[in-house]
Amino acid sequence: MKQLTKAEEDIMQILWNLGEANVASIVNEFPEPKPANNTVSTIVRILESKNFVTYRKEGRGHIYIPKVQKNEYSNQSINKLVDGYFQGSFKSMVSFFMKKNEISVKEMEAILNEINKKN
């Protein structure tokens, strides 16, 4: 799976939240100053070429639908981060974020409880 640029990821976040949308609806979700419709349209077509979105015709326009699920992209991105910066060690990554973000014991216990729920 290809990595997304920041602009592509911003649009995918909107599509994941909306489920499906036309260009005008995507633009409407951006904070001010909103990007131009042509800009968003171009990025959506790039996302289509990367197989991240598909579309259906509706009237004279298109409704864009995510082909890649958010959790699928998140997993791939996290794995790339871990492999690229932490030599594939999730333990090293967690340790790094604990030190840098000064996670409290209470917060760490909450994280461990979440992990234990999933196992």
Looking at residue 110, its pLDDT comes to 86
> In the CATH hierarchy, which fold is given to the domain comprising 6-66?
Arc Repressor Mutant, subunit A (1.10.10)
Compute CA distances 71 → 19, 68, 76, whole Å.
14, 9, 9
Domain boundaries, the chain: 6-66, 89-119
In this predicted model, what pLDDT tens digit does every residue of 7-21 receive, in sequence order?
999 999 999 999 999
List pLDDT tens digits, range 74-100: 888 888 888 999 998 888 888 887 788
Tell me the average pLDDT across 14-30.
98
> How far is the C-alpha of 5 from the C-alpha of 8, rounded, in Å?
5
Please tell me the pTM assigned to this model. Answer: 0.77
